[in-house]
Amino acid sequence: MGDPFGEGYPADGETPVHSVAMSAFRIDATAVSNTQFATFIDATGYRTESEVYGTSAVFHLAVQAGTQDILGTASGTPWWLNVRGADWAHPAGRLSFWEDIPDHPVVQVSHTDALAYCAWAGRALPTEAQWEYSARGGLAQARYPWGNELHGIAADGTTVHHCNIWQGTFPTENTGDDGHLTTAPVRTFGPNGHGLFQTSGNVWEWCSDWFLPKYYKSCQDLGTVADPPGPTIGRGRVMRGGSYLCHESYCNRYRLAARSSNSPESASGNLGFRTVAP
């Protein structure tokens, strides 16, 4: 695990590279889709935290809501708007509907919401180690699930996109060269060597671990660690994989070693999850 290229953010604790041994497990090929999450809601009547709070974060170019529903911007990140009525069923605001994008990943779900889905489905959120092992698809120490170069080149000289991230000037202009302004269907682009789709880009994915940047150093000190559960404390829960908003100028975290975090009650239009089972 970890960043062998030395290009990660120091504050994220992507180093040192260290050895991990994994017990067998199964993992979803894709992030949980809107259709799958709707089945859970129909079966349980569960209300997500965004529904309870009444608002959630939507990227400014994606908002589908009346002006009266836009309540302000996030401190330090003015491209995030606090939108009344934004939730998993209305991911961009009250004028958006999950039924229009049933095969896209569910978003606007908190860590707590993801755990509720897992409890219903008899599954769990992946540990950070399970996530990275799966995301790599068998490519040891590669930068991305497909290799070390971000883009491919087709026979006619055109650019081949392997993931859904930001193209253009963040956060004002997305050229949409990869075909998507926001989320893409969960089976867009090719799978990695383990059969997983979109472990780079599209949506961030919750992991079970607490986020503690110095945790990798403690693992290295122990030698090869078997099934690391993550730290017992941290500043939020781990998110992995990056999202459609990631760009090298702002958030170069669609690399396989990249890590980030958010508070467990947080939700946004670019954050989802996938699940695991023994």
Using the predicted structure, report yes or no on whether residue 138 has a pLDDT greater than 90.
yes
257 located within any domain: yes
156 located within any domain: no
61 located within any domain: yes
When mean pLDDT is compared across 42-46, 202-206, 221-225, the lowest value belongs to 221-225
Give the pairing type, strands 271-272 and 204-210.
parallel
Say if CB 17 and CB 2 are below 8 A apart.
yes
Q: In this predicted structure, what is the pLDDT of residue 223? A: 83
Q: In this predicted structure, what is the pLDDT of residue 187? A: 98
Q: How far is CA 85 from CA 7, 97, 193, in A?
A: 38, 11, 39
Say if CB 131 and CB 121 are below 8 A apart.
no
pLDDT band at 7 (very low <50, low <70, confident <90, very high): very high
Name the residue among 59, 138, 129 with its Cα closest to residue 91: 59
pLDDT band at 250 (very low <50, low <70, confident <90, very high): confident
Q: How far is CA 31 from CA 71, 93, 148, 185, 211, in A?
A: 29, 21, 23, 10, 21
What percentage of the chain has pLDDT greater than the value 70? 100
Q: In this predicted structure, what is the pLDDT of residue 184? A: 98
Using the predicted structure, report yes or no on whether residue 222 has a pLDDT greater than 90.
no
When mean pLDDT is compared across 74-83, 131-140, 220-229, the lowest value belongs to 220-229
Using the predicted structure, report yes or no on whether residue 221 has a pLDDT greater than 90.
no
110 located within any domain: yes
213 located within any domain: yes
169 located within any domain: yes
> Which tokens is 163 given?
């993931």
Q: In this predicted structure, what is the pLDDT of residue 69? A: 98
**Strand spans (E) along 123-246:** 151-153, 159-161, 168-169, 173-174, 204-210, 225-226, 237-240
Mean pLDDT estimate for the chain = 96
- Averaged pLDDT, 258-272: 97
- Averaged pLDDT, 14-32: 96
Neighbours of 175 (CB within 10 A): 10
225 located within any domain: yes
CATH of the domain at 228: 3.90.1580.10
Q: In this predicted structure, what is the pLDDT of residue 205? A: 98
Which residue range is the domain that position 127 belongs to?
Answer: 10-148+163-277
Distance CA 148, CA 222 (A): 29
Q: In this predicted structure, what is the pLDDT of residue 110? A: 98
41 located within any domain: yes
Name the residue among 208, 216, 213 with its Cα closest to residue 275: 208
What's the structural domain count of the chain? Answer: 1
